[in-house]
Amino acid sequence: MVTRKVLGLSSLVVFLMVGMLMVSCQNTDSTDGNQAESSSKASTAGQNGNLSASADQIAAERNLSPKDVEAALKTYMPSGKHDEYLMFSSGGHSGQVLVIGVPSMRLLKVIAAFTPEPWQGFGYGSEESMKLLKDGDMKTGKELRWADTHHPALTETDGEYDGEFLFINDKANARVAVIDLRDFETKQMIKTPNIISDHGSTFVTPNSEYVIQASQYATPLPFEEYAPMEEYQEKYRGLIALHKFDREKGRIVEEGSFQIELPPYWQDLCDSGKKVSEGWIFCNSINTELATGGIGQGLPPFEAGVSQRDMDYMHVINLEKAAEVAKQPGKTTEISGVKVIPLDVAISEGLLYFIPEPKSPHGVDVTPGGEYLVVSGKLDTHATVYGFDLIQKAIKDENFEGKDVYGVPILKYNDVVAAQLEIGLGPLHTQFDNEGNAYTSVFIESTLAKWKLGPPYNTGEDAWTLTEKVPVQYNIGHNVCAEGDTVSPDGKYCVALNKWSIDRFSPVGPLLPQNFQLIDVSGDKMQVLYDMPIGVGEPHYVQMIKADKLNPFPVYPEVGYNPGTMSVDPDAAKAGQEKIVRSDGKVEVWMTGIRSHFNPEHISVNEGDEVTLHITNVERARDATHGFAIEGYNINLSLEPGESSTVKFVADQPGVFPFYCSEFCSALHLEMMGYLLVEPEK
């Protein structure tokens, strides 16, 4: 049992000295001027001795242990200092993306991705955001206004995060969004044809040529077709979508995109091969039993049916070859306007192979050099490691144990497994560091397990050994380590993405936040440093990038910039050229905003007029954002410095409606307003 000790003065002093030294050492390695300054101040304070005495008192009063103080020293970020890493986290049910600093664990921004978000004026009238949301609706026109974001994927160059774009999926509706990291705004939303749910998404190839999206719950293909459950094996299918990404356009494009039909084994997480395995992709599956549930009819529920077999199938897909096949005439079928490689073609062309993998796997993670694939079956206790070279040899030798019911060749398990480690109860996902270690989340026992990879990372007795586990609170899902799924992970920090927080935070009713726990992995022993509650949804996966790889705009490059096109909008209002133009039943306004007024301030229209406002924030000062809200009309825009936006609406409510700046911008912010006067129809 752990007994918490209150620090004595002497131990605290020693501890703080160590802490200061650590801060100092960290800064030696850093080129960040802010951090160097911080180090200097800390050392000075330590030398004066003032900090020690006061800190001792604080620690005593707050009942902080030496470990607590050490953790605080490792995470505290003085005002004005910046974090070394940024995490991009799925926002779960919020349908958004969270941006979080590491090690401070401060929430920096919530990026509106799939759901309306008023602060950013996303979905509250601006033409740009309304179009995006519409693009993500069902093709029947059914509006989708919630999303279950799961797996963010940063663009990569040669397998390294490049900080240019971010992709995020919506598991609930099989959608993908593209976020431009120049302004941290969503630029594209795609409702992927043919599938209606996805889990294994988004993942990118090492140069982001493709965004990978695998379906999860099998349906008829396309999902709009009807087939009863009795026809599951015959008519239901899985699918993997390969979205071609045009980096120059910053968009997923139709040309070059294609899909591959798969058996109806709920495809789960995927990963892209890297370095030696580049050109291949790997996806798990979890229902090779072809279970169809039916608890209401007295049949075994999915939870039992889907976990019957010892093994499921990892899907090994030759992407490079598939892309070539997709271009060949007669090799694809068009479904819902998309090229689909049918399953029989995928088999005959040697695009798809199966490998038995421990039951109900959840993670497949490729090592930094691409040599190994780590799979953890959540109902198995092991991390099973497959050798890419062994897989290639087995395919070349056509060394199969047989075929599945759909005719897909199955490689012999024993021929392709390089190692298997006893990890713990319910292992899920694995990330890597820069010293040949792997970190696997272990759900049921609530731990993060650290273990050593084999050659070339470690050799001899060190190879493939479990070295340490640290308890986390509680029920860890994914974990993330600094750049831990790239070709050159950094180590330093991992974060446990815990599904349950139970007692970690002040009670806030029965719905509790998730718990992100920052873990220092730089020393001999892992140390939990910080608990961060996430109270906006259930985040699923996170990527952690070095902050200096990002290069966002401080303000938009030119006045009149349209974030939708990332260029100056020809319709943008210009300072000194504000105007109102009226024609039959239409009113078009060119308006500017600057601290602390809009121009024009009076807009008079008739009931029933179609009103179009082109509004430009002509500010060039950093952070001089203006909002534009019209009361009673459900309209709110966010106009960042230089931004131009357009809003259209019908003045269908007569009366007088103030409009105002909804972002506190200046001392006279309250005065930054105007009136929309809607004269009743005569």
Specify the residue, 57 or 233, whose C-beta has the smaller distance to other proteins.
Answer: 233
Q: For the CA atoms of 90, 94, 95, 97, what is the dihedral angle to 10 degrees?
A: -40
Q: Compute and round to an integer the Cα radius of gyration of the chain.
A: 28
CB of 265 to other proteins, least distance (A): 14
CB atoms near residue 183 (< 10 Å): 18
Give the position of tokens 């996430």.
Answer: 534
Residue located via tokens 């401080």: 554
Instruction: Tell how far CA 295 is from the center of its chain.
Output: 34
Query: Residue 81: how many CB atoms within 10 A of its CB?
Result: 15
Contact yes or no for 218/604 (Cβ under 8 A): no
Instruction: Find out whether 493 and 464 touch, Cβ atoms under 8 Å.
Output: no
The residue among 67 and 235 lying less far from other proteins, judged by its C-beta, is 67
CA distance 326 to 665: 53
Closest contact distance (angstroms) between CB of 440 and other proteins is 14
- Closest approach, Cβ 59 to other proteins, in A, equals 19
Smaller CB separation from other proteins, 301 or 608:
301
Are 661 and 669 spatial neighbours (Cβ–Cβ below 8 Å)? Answer: yes
CB of 466 to other proteins, least distance (A): 11
Torsion sign, CA atoms 467, 470, 476, 478: negative
Nearer to other proteins, 431 or 446 (CB): 446
Residue 467 buriedness (CB in 10 A; 0-12 / 13-18 / 19+): middle
Is the CB of residue 115 less than 8 Å from the CB of residue 146? yes
Distance separating alpha carbons of residues 641 and 631, to the nearest angstrom: 23
- Both tokens assigned to 334: 């068009």
Q: How far apart are CA 70 and CA 75, in angstroms?
A: 9
> 473 or 666, CB closer to other proteins?
473
- Minimum distance of other proteins from residue 282's CB (angstroms): 23
Instruction: Give me the least distance between CB of 447 and other proteins, in Å please.
Output: 8
CB of 471 to other proteins, least distance (A): 6
In a 13 Å sphere around the CA of 477, the CA atoms on its Cβ side amount to: 18
Smaller CB separation from other proteins, 308 or 634: 308
Residue where the block lists tokens 């789960």: 268
Which residue number, 1 or 667, has a Cβ lying nearer to other proteins?
A: 1
- CB-based contact 343:237 (threshold 8 Å): yes
Identify which of residues 232 and 633 has a Cβ nearer to other proteins in the complex.
232
For the record, the structure tokens of 512 come out as 């509790």
Q: In this structure, what token pair is assigned to residue 139?
A: 């093709």
Closest CB to other proteins among residues 70, 380: 380
User: 241, 262 in Cβ contact below 8 A?
Assistant: no
CB of 303 to other proteins, least distance (A): 6
Measure the CA–CA gap between 271 and 255, rounded to whole angstroms. 23
Q: Would you give the end-to-end CA distance of the chain in angstroms?
A: 81
Binding site for other proteins (CB under 8 A): 1-2, 289, 300-301, 303-304, 307-310, 359, 379-381, 422, 424-425, 443-446, 469, 471, 473-475, 500, 502-503
Tokens of 52: 């020690």
Nearest to 589 by CA among 537, 628, 543: 628
Give 237's contacts (C-beta < 8 A, 6+ positions apart). Answer: 218, 219, 220, 221, 261, 262, 263, 264, 343
Q: Are 532 and 470 in contact (CB under 8 A)?
A: no
Sign of dihedral through CA atoms 332, 334, 335, 337? positive
Per-residue CA distances from 463 to 7, 387, 433, 436, 467 (Å): 40, 14, 15, 9, 10
Complex with other proteins: residue 74 or 469, whichever CB lies closer: 469
State in angstroms the smallest separation of the CB of 295 from other proteins. 10
Give the nearer residue to other proteins in terms of CB position, either 473 or 596.
473
Query: 419 by DSSP, 3-state: which?
Result: strand
Q: Which is nearer to other proteins, 119 or 302 (CB)?
A: 302
Listed in sequence order, the DSSP H helices in 168-250 are: 232-235
Judging by DSSP bridges, how do beta strands 251-262 and 338-341 pair with one another? parallel
Give, to the nearest 10 degrees, the angle between helix 9-28 and helix 50-61: 120
**In the complex, minimum distance from the CB of residue 1 to other proteins, in angstroms, rounded to a whole number:** 6
Beta-strand ranges (E) seen in 210-320 are: 210-215, 219-220, 236-246, 251-262, 267-272, 280-285, 311-318
Q: Which amino acid is at 149?
A: T
| Residue (of 264, 273, 319) closest to 292 by Cα position | 264
